Structure 1
Amino acid sequence: MKKTTLLAACALSVFAAAAVQAQPVVRDGVLADAAGRTVYTFDKDEPGKSNCSGGCLVAWPPFTAKPEAAAKGEFGLISGTRQWTVNGKPLYYFAGDAKPGDRMGDGQGGVWHVISSKPAAKAAATSAYTY
């Protein structure tokens, strides 16, 4: 049991380290990171504030910014955690997505969603971002 927990923690730490990224972009009609991994919003969040903690963060790691990243347009950053937001909604990855382009988290629990709205997609496609 302890070995499984340790392996899960190691996998999460590797995923979390890779989760530090530049501003979201549009890939195949939805918001994603620069590598094409889909990002999601959580209905229980408040504007500019994540309400995902504990076990939630294991399944839904936050999409965080590099220290030098600057938010533009509809995109923002939560102070302290530097988690990316779109229109104030914090963004997350889904641990169940195995590869770029997967969208297995969309609709999970009725509260997790991809961002595919045209205004957000248009802003992401035309916004400049820094690494």
Structure 2
Amino acid sequence: MKHIAQSWKALLVTAALTLPAMAFAAEPAMMKDGMMVDHKGMTVYTYDKDSGGKSTCNGECAEYWPPMMAPAGAKPEGKWSTIKRDDGKMQWAYDGKPLYTFMKDKKPGDMAGDNMKDVWHVVHEHK
């Protein structure tokens, strides 16, 4: 009986360590109420100046618009991909467009960055 209990504990620990990584592996964000949000419920944006699967938001720009960073070994699927940033780190992209959050969004559902300078846009569900 003791062996079964130890095996069960080992299984639970393995699941606890593995499942969170799997949850973010393929889809780092989701659609909620017609717009894309990260797993904390924060609004996700694209930047019109990005093109060709490359982020042009670096330095001070990235301080205001934090890139949605992809973990090492991320395994994107479907419309999800990863791109390499200028600093060599990986960032999530959706349908070829790098993704960001906005530092002035303070709580889930905030969209303070939508249409900022006519180049930042909330990612909306295509119907």
The answer, yes or no, to whether TM exceeds 0.5 is yes
2:49 counterpart of 1:44: yes
Count of matched residue positions in the alignment of Structure 1 and Structure 2 = 99
By how many angstroms is 1:69 displaced? 2.9
The equivalent residue for 2:36 is: 31
Instruction: Report 1:1-131 matches (<5 A).
Output: 22=24, 23-79=28-84, 80-118=88-126
Inter-partner Cα distance in structure 1 for 2:97 and 2:68: 11
Asked whether the equivalents of residues 105 and 113 of structure 2 are also in contact (C-alpha less than 8 Å), the reply is yes
Instruction: Specify the code of the residue in structure 2 equivalent to 1:115.
Output: V
Inter-partner Cα distance in structure 2 for 1:47 and 1:75: 15
TM superposition outliers: structure 1 runs of 4+ over 2 Å: 66-69
Q: Structure 1 vs Structure 2: percent identity of aligned residues?
A: 44
Instruction: Specify the code of the residue in structure 2 equivalent to 1:93.
Output: T
Structure 1 unaligned segments of length 5 or more: list them. Answer: 1-20, 120-131
Instruction: Specify the code of the residue in structure 2 equivalent to 1:58.
Output: E
Structure 2 unaligned segments of length 5 or more: list them. Answer: 1-22
Instruction: Specify the code of the residue in structure 2 equivalent to 1:90.
Output: P
Inter-partner Cα distance in structure 1 for 2:32 and 2:90: 22
Instruction: Specify the code of the residue in structure 2 equivalent to 1:118.
Output: H
TM-score (norm 2): 0.71
Inter-partner Cα distance in structure 2 for 1:24 and 1:72: 12
State the Cα deviation string for residues 64-106 of structure 1 (Å, max 9, x = none).
1222432111111013422110111100010000011111110
- Larger gyration radius, structure 1 or structure 2: 2
CA RMSD of aligned residues (A): 1.6
TM-score (norm 1): 0.69
